[in-house]
A and B are shown apart, each in its own frame.
Chain A
Amino acid sequence: MKEDIRNKLQNVLEDRVFHKTEDCISYGYDGSFGQHIPDFVVQVQSTEEVQSVVRIANEFNMPITPRGASTSLSGGPLPVEKGIIMDFSQWDHYLEIFPEDLLIKASPGVITGDIHKLADEHNLMYAPDPSSSSICTIGGNLAENAGGPRGVKYGVTKDYVLGLEVVTAQGEVIQTGGNTVKNVTGYDLTKLIVGSEGTLGVITEATLRLIPKPLATKTAMILFDDLYTAGKSISTILTSGVRPSKMEILDNNALNRVEDYAKLDLPREASAILLVEVDGDPTILDKELQTIKEALLQIGVDKVDIAENKEDEDKLWQVRKLVSPAIVESGYTKISEDVTLPLSKIPDMFKKIDEIKQKHDLNIVVFGHAGDGNLHPTLNTNMRDQNEVERVEDAVEEIFSYAVQLGGTLSGEHGIGTMKRAFMTKELGESGVQFQKAIKTALDPNNLLNPGKIFPIAGEERLVLRNE
C-alpha cells in the first residue's frame, strides 16, 4: 500500500516527495520535544498540489501534518500519527504588495521577515513580530496565531488577517474573509482558521493587513527593587495615557544570567527590569516617556533610564536579545513556556514561580512581554537526568495550573500542540472542549488534518517531556 501512495504522490510532485527514513526523520521534530518519523514528506508548491495530496490522503486514510519552518515551541508540526508531512517551506515564491490598499498577499512558505521587509520598503508595517521572524513562515504564524513583543500595542497575527484561501479536509478550496477590514458576510471563518494549528483546513494563501510605519522609536529601561512594584508598574504605565509599543520584563535571574554572559554593567541587585519602547512621531516620544516617568514616580519608582540615541537604544534591546543565549548552559536544554495572565496578576505569578523553583530545585528564569501579560518562564534542564526531567514536568504543570487559577491562559502565543493538550480541560472545562471538538469533527470527520493536537488524549493527564 505504501508503494501505491508513493507512486500517486510522485505522480503529482515528482522529486518533491521524500520517503526514506534518513530524509523523513528530519521532518519529525520542531522547537519543542519529541521525535517522530512521517511516512512521507511532500514539498507542495501550489493550491492544486495541496488539493491532490489531500485527496490521496483521503483515499488511503492517511494523516496530514502541515509544516512551515518547524520553529514551533508546542509540537504543532510534529507528525505524531505518522502519515504525510506537508512541507510548505519551499513554497515561498508568491509575495505581492498592494500599497494603496495597504495589503500584502503571500503564499504560506514566505518567511515573515520578508513580509516585514517588503512592507517597510513602502513605508508600511506588518505588525506581528514573533522573535523567530527571520526564519518562521507566515503559514506557521497563521496556524499558531503567533504574537511577539509588539502585541501590547498592535495585537497579534489574527488582528492582521483579512482573508485566507484554505483547502478543506475533503480537498475543496474555500475563501474566507476578503480584502477589506470590515467584512461581516457570514461566520468569521478567518479567525476560526487562524490559530487552529492546521487541524481544520490547510492554509494556501493569506491576505494580510498593513498599517502605516511608525516614524521613530525611543526606549527606556526601568529598574525595580521589588517584584510587586514591577508588576504594579505595568498597569501604571498602561493607564498613564501613553501606549507603549513594547514592554519587556526580565526578572533578577534573567538579568544576572545576561550580565554573567555579556558583562553589560547591568544592576545585578535589581529585582526586575522593564524595557519600554514608545513609537510614532519623534517629536512626541520624549514627552510620552516623560509622562511614563511621572506616573511611575507616583508609585515610588524613580530609576528610569532613557536611551539618548539610537546606539544606546540598541544597547538596551541587546539585553533582551541576549536572554536566550545567556540562559543556555552547555549540555542543558531550554524549555520555554508562555503562560499569559491578566496584568494585575503578574506579581503573583513571579512569586509562585520563585516558590516552584525552590521547591523543585530547578533553574528557572522569567522574562516576557509584560505589557500583554505574556510571560516566558524558561527552565534549563538536563534532559538526560530522568529525575530532573520529572521535576520539570511537575513544575511546568504547577505553573499552568496557577495561571488558569489566576484567570490566565496556558498559552499566549506558542499554541497548544502536543505540549499543553493535557491541560485543555482544566482551562476550558469538559463542555468547552466538547464544543471545540464538535467543530473539528464537523469539518474533518475522518480526523486526517494534524491529528493528535490540541485535544487531550484519553488518559493523558500530565505533561510528558521524556522522549521514548
Chain B
Amino acid sequence: MIDKLDYQATFDCVQCGYCLPVCPTYIAFKNEKHSPRGRINLVKLVAEEKLEIADMEEGIDLCLGCRACETICPTNVRYGDILMSAVEVIKENKDMTLKEKGIRTGAFKLALKNKRVIRMMNKGLYFYQKSGLSKTVSKSGLLKPLPKYNDLNKAMPDVILSERITNNINPFRKKDIQVGFFQGCIMDAFFKRINDLAVKIMEKHDVQVTNIKKQTCCGALQHHAGEHDMTVVQAMKNIEAYEKYDFDYIVNTIGGCGATLREYPKLFEEGSVWHGRAVKFTEKVRDISEIMSMLHLEMTEPVNMNAVYQPSCHLEHVQQVFKDPMNMINNVPGLKYIDMQDKSLCCGSAGVYNIVHFDESMQILDLKMRNVKTARPTLIITSNPGCHIQMQLGLEREGMSDEVLVKHLVEVVAEACNIS
C-alpha cells in the first residue's frame, strides 16, 4: 500500500490547517474528514495499514479536486498527487456502482476518446435544442423520475453544430505568434461558439492559429476517475500530435483541460523519453487569457454590465493563472467589476462531480450562490465549461436566470472587440 499511495508526499503536510478555510467541502460538510489535512492523514494511515481502504473512501470520493489547498499551502504539499493515488487505489479495490458505471463507461471509454462520437453528441444536442424538444422536456416534466436533474437540463447551453476540424493555416499571411489550438471535448460539444470566438480574437490580432486534426481528449475526466492507463494513452496521442508542429504556444479556453495538459509530465517517469517530450509540450500550454493579455486587443465596444468573475479552480490552483483574466476583465470598456466574496471557492461542478455527487454538489453551489446574491451582478464571467453550466444551474435554482447572464471570458472580450 505504501508504494501505491503517494506516501512520501504525505510527510510534507505539517497539519497546520491553513487549507481548512479554503476547502469548499470542509466549509459545506463541516467535518475534518472532508478537509485536505484530514484526507492527507487518512491516506497516510491507509498507507501504513492502520486503516482500511474503505475508511478513506468517503473522504476521497467527496473531494472536488479543486486544489485550492495547494495554492494556500505554506509547505507546498502535492495534494493533487496524493489525491490521485488514493482515487486509483480506491478504484482498484471497489466495483463501481451501476449508476457510476453507466455514466463513466459511457463518457470515458466511448465518447471522450472518440471525436466522431463527440460530434454525434453535439449533433444530438443541437437537434434536441433546435427542435424545441428541450423546452418540451423542461416543461412537461418528462424527466420526472429524476426531478433533481431538471435544472441541470435547463442549464445546458445552446449548442452550435460542430464541424469537422479544419486546418486554418493560411500560407500567404505571416503572423507574429504561431499557436496550436486545443479545443477540448466538452467545450467543443457544448460551447463550440466560444472556441470559434477565441480563434477569431486571436486571428484578428495577428496570431496564426492552427487547429490540428490528431488532437484528442486531454484525459482529465479519466484521470480524475483513477483511469491512469487511459490517461497516459490520451497524453501520448496529444503530445505526438502537437510536437509535429513548431508552435509558440498550445492554447485552450478550458481551465480544467489546460490544467491536465500542464500536468502531463507527472504521468511519466522522470528521466524517461516520454517525460522529456511531455515537459516540452507542457512548456507551450497557455490559457486563452494569457494569450489575450499578450496582445494589444482593440476593445472598442462597451459591455455595460456589472460582472463577477468565477475563476476555474484548475486555471488558478493548477495552472496558477490569476492575473491575466483579471487584466482582461478590468480592460473591457463599460464593464463594472464587482469583487465577489470567496470568488476562488469552487462552485461544485468539478468534472463529473455534479452528476455523480449531485446533492453534495448542490450544497457547495448554494454556498457560491449566497455570495453571488450579495454581489448582485448582471453577468457571471467563467473560464471553464463545467463552471459555466454549474453557474447557469445555480441561477436556475435561485430563479435568477432572467436577470443574470453567464459568459465565458472569451465571449465578453469578443463582444468588446466587436467580433461575433
Interface residues of A (CB under 8 A from B): 18, 21-23, 25-27, 29-31, 35, 43, 69-71, 89-90, 111, 132, 134-136, 324-325, 328, 330-334, 383-384
Top 5 A-B pairs, shortest CB-CB distance:
A26-B32, A26-B38, A22-B55, A328-B75, A26-B33
Find out whether the CB atom of A22 lies under 8 angstroms from the CB atom of B51: yes
- Known pairs A31-B15, A330-B76. 6 more at Cβ < 8 A? A25-B41, A26-B59, A136-B17, A325-B74, A332-B12, A334-B75
Find out whether the CB atom of A331 lies under 8 angstroms from the CB atom of B33: no
A135 to B74 alpha-carbon distance, docked (Å): 13
Which residues of B49-74 are within 8 A (CB) of A?
Answer: 50-51, 54-56, 58-59, 74
Find out whether the CB atom of B51 lies under 8 angstroms from the CB atom of A27: no
Chain B residue, CB-CB nearest to A322? B74
Find out whether the CB atom of B15 lies under 8 angstroms from the CB atom of A334: no
From the candidates B11, B56, B76, name the one contacting A22 in the complex (CB within 8 A): B56
A-B contact pairs, 18 of them (CB 8 A): A22-B33, A26-B33, A26-B38, A29-B15, A31-B17, A35-B50, A43-B30, A69-B20, A89-B30, A132-B17, A132-B18, A135-B18, A324-B75, A325-B76, A328-B14, A328-B75, A330-B9, A333-B11
A69 to B27 alpha-carbon distance, docked (Å): 13
The answer to the question of B124 belonging to the interface, with a C-beta cut-off of 8 Å to chain A, is: no
A23 to B59 alpha-carbon distance, docked (Å): 9
Contact with A along B168-188 (1 / 0, CB 8 A): 000000000000000000000
Which residues of B278-304 are within 8 A (CB) of A?
Answer: none
Which residues of B8-57 are within 8 A (CB) of A?
Answer: 8-9, 11-12, 14-18, 20-21, 30-33, 35, 38, 41-42, 45, 50-51, 54-56
With contacts A26-B32, A26-B33, A325-B74 taken as known, whether A71 is within 8 angstroms of B38 at the C-beta atoms is no
Find out whether the CB atom of A35 lies under 8 angstroms from the CB atom of B41: yes
With contacts A18-B31, A25-B51, A331-B12 taken as known, whether A135 is within 8 angstroms of B21 at the C-beta atoms is yes
B residues less than 8 Å from A90 (CB atoms): 30
Find out whether the CB atom of B75 lies under 8 angstroms from the CB atom of A134: no
Choose among B11, B42, B50, B59 the residue with the greatest number of A CB atoms under 10 Å from its CB.
B11
Min Cβ gap B9→A in Å is 8
A residues less than 8 Å from B45 (CB atoms): 25, 35
Find out whether the CB atom of A71 lies under 8 angstroms from the CB atom of B16: yes
Min Cβ gap B191→A in Å is 36
A18 to B58 alpha-carbon distance, docked (Å): 14
Choose among A22, A35, A89, A325 the residue with the greatest number of B CB atoms under 10 Å from its CB.
A22
Choose among B18, B32, B58, B76 the residue with the greatest number of A CB atoms under 10 Å from its CB.
B32
Chain A residue, CB-CB nearest to B72? A134
From the candidates B8, B11, B18, B51, name the one contacting A21 in the complex (CB within 8 A): B51
Choose among B45, B50, B75 the residue with the greatest number of A CB atoms under 10 Å from its CB.
B75
A residues less than 8 Å from B8 (CB atoms): 330-331
Contact with A along B320-335 (1 / 0, CB 8 A): 0000000000000000
A residues less than 8 Å from B56 (CB atoms): 22
A27 to B33 alpha-carbon distance, docked (Å): 8
B residues less than 8 Å from A384 (CB atoms): 11
With contacts A25-B45, A325-B75 taken as known, whether A332 is within 8 angstroms of B11 at the C-beta atoms is yes
A449 to B76 alpha-carbon distance, docked (Å): 36
Min Cβ gap B111→A in Å is 34
